Amino acid sequence: MRPLPDLVCPAGSLPALKTAIDHGADAVYLGFKNATNARNFAGLNFDPRSMADGIRYAHGRGRQVLMAINTFAQPGRAKEWQQSIDHAVDLGVDAIILADIGLLDYARQRHLQQRLHLSVQGSATSYEAINFCQREFGIQRAVLPRVLTLAQVEHVIKNTSVEIEVFGFGSLCVMNEGRCWLSSYACGESPNTVGACSPAKYVQWDKQPNSMETRLNGVLIDRFNNDEAAGYPTLCKGRFEVRGETYYALEEPTSLNVLPILPEIQKIGVRAIKIEGRQRSPAYVAQVTRTLRAALDALSEDRPFTVTPAWQADLAKLSEGSQATLGAYSRPWR
C-alpha cells in the first residue's frame, strides 16, 4: 500500500490558515502581500506579523507551511524576489514553491538546506523537466499542471525520485499554468508577473435594468440575467458571441473534483493533493478541507473505498457553475 497523500490546503489569510489546520490539512500554502505571489489580490495574503503567527500556529500543531514565491522576477527588480526568499527562510517555512529558474538557482546557492518545490507555474509536464530541476536546483517536490491524464502522471512518477503533487479540487484553467496570455492581452499585465488573473482594478460591474454586465479593462466578458449568479470575470470563463451564437467559447465554469479517483491517485504514488483557492473564503477552505480529509481518512481504512453522497453534495455547493469534472485526468477518447 502506498502512503496516503498529504492534503495541501490554501491559505489566503490568517483565518483561512487556521481553518485549514483545524479541519485536517497536513500543510498550507500561502504568499506575501506583494508581486512575488501568484494570488496577489488586495485584501489577501500575509504581512510579516501575520505570517509569523500563521507559521507558529501550524508548527504548534505539527503541520507544515509552504511559501509560494511563484511569479517570475521582472528585469531590474530581481532583488524583491530574492529578498522574499531570504525572508521566507528566516521565518522558518517548511518549503518554498518557486517557478523562476533564476530564483531556484538563487535559493539553491544561498540557502542550501532549504527545501524547494517546483511550482505549477513552472509548467513542468515531463519527468525530464522535473529531473533537470532536481539535478540543477535540488527540488524535492514538483506540482504538476492540470493538463495530464492519470496515466501520464503515473509515467512521470515512475521516472523521477522527486515527490509529485497534483491538484484535487478547485478552479480549472484552459492554459498550461505559467503560460497564460489572455489576461495580459486584455490588461497589459500578466498573472505570471504581477500575480493576479483579472486584476481587480480592471474589473467593471455595470448594472443594467434586466442584467449585470462584467468587463475587464473595457472588454465585455459576460452578461448575467437577474436570476443568475455573477461570477468573478476571467476571460477564459466568459460567454462570447461566435458566428451568431453566444456561449462559453473557451471554458465553462466548472471545478475539478478527484474524489472518484482517489484510490488511483494513491496507487500511482502521488505524494500530495492540493486544493486550489487562496482567493476563496475561510468557509470554503473549511468545507473542502473537511471533506477531502474525511475521504483520505476513509481511503486509509481496510475496506473498499466509496464516495459518499454527503461528500459530493458538500463539494457540489462550492463548485464553479455547480459543475464538477475530472478534467484532464480522465480522457475516455484516448
Q: pLDDT tens digit string along 58-109?
A: 999 999 999 999 999 988 999 999 999 999 999 999 999 999 999 999 999 9
Cell of 174: 484552459
Distance set, CA 193 to CA 149, 184, 204, 216 (Å) = 28, 9, 22, 18
Q: What is the rounded CA–CA span in Å between residue 281 and residue 323?
A: 19
Half-sphere exposure of 283 (CA within 13 A, CB side): 3
Q: Are residues 290 and 228 in the same domain?
A: no
Whether the per-residue pLDDT at 333 is higher than 60: the answer is no
Give me 177's grid cell: 499554468
Average pLDDT over residues 176-180: 65
Structure confidence by residue, pLDDT tens digits, 300-328: 988 899 999 999 999 988 887 667 787 87
Q: Does 1 fall in a domain?
A: no
Whether pLDDT at 110 is above 90: yes
d(CA 254, CA 327): 9
Q: Could you read off the pLDDT of 184-239 as tens digits, one per residue?
A: 888 887 777 776 777 788 889 999 888 999 999 999 989 998 888 777 778 888 89
Band (40; pLDDT cuts 50, 70, 90): confident
The residue with cell 498529504 is 6
Within this chain, do residues 165 and 202 fall inside the same structural domain, yes or no? Answer: no
Tell me whether residue 334 is in a domain: no
Cell of 6: 498529504
Same domain, 45 and 71: yes
Residue 304, C-alpha cell as written in the block: 473498499
What pLDDT, on the 0 to 100 scale, is given for residue 177?
A: 66
- Indicate the number of domains in the chain: 2
Q: Is the pLDDT of residue 182 over 90?
A: no
Residue 74, Ramachandran bin (φ over 0: left; ψ between -120 and 50: alpha; else beta): beta
**216 in the same domain as 80:** no
Q: What is the C-alpha to C-alpha distance for residues 248 and 237, in angstroms, rounded to an integer?
A: 7
CB 39 within 8 A of CB 45: yes
Amino acid letter, residue 38: A
Cβ atoms of 177 and 146 within 8 Å: the answer is yes
Residue-range definition of the domain harbouring residue 226: 182-247
Q: What does the DSSP 8-state code read for residue 145?
A: P
Q: What is the distance between the alpha carbons of residues 17 and 22, in angstroms, rounded to a whole number?
A: 9
Same domain, yes or no: 139 and 192: no
The pTM of the full predicted model, rounded to 2 decimals, is 0.90
CATH of the domain at 77: 3.20.20.60
Average confidence (pLDDT) over 173-181: 68
The residue among 247, 278, 299 that closes a domain is 247
Shared-domain flag, residues 163 and 223? no
Mean pLDDT of the chain: 91
8 A C-beta contact, residue 201 and residue 194: no
Cell numbers describing residue 233: 470575470
Burial class (CB in 10 A: 0-12, 13-18, 19+), 184: middle
The answer as to whether 21 is a domain residue is: yes
Per-residue confidence (pLDDT) for residue 77, from 0 to 100: 93
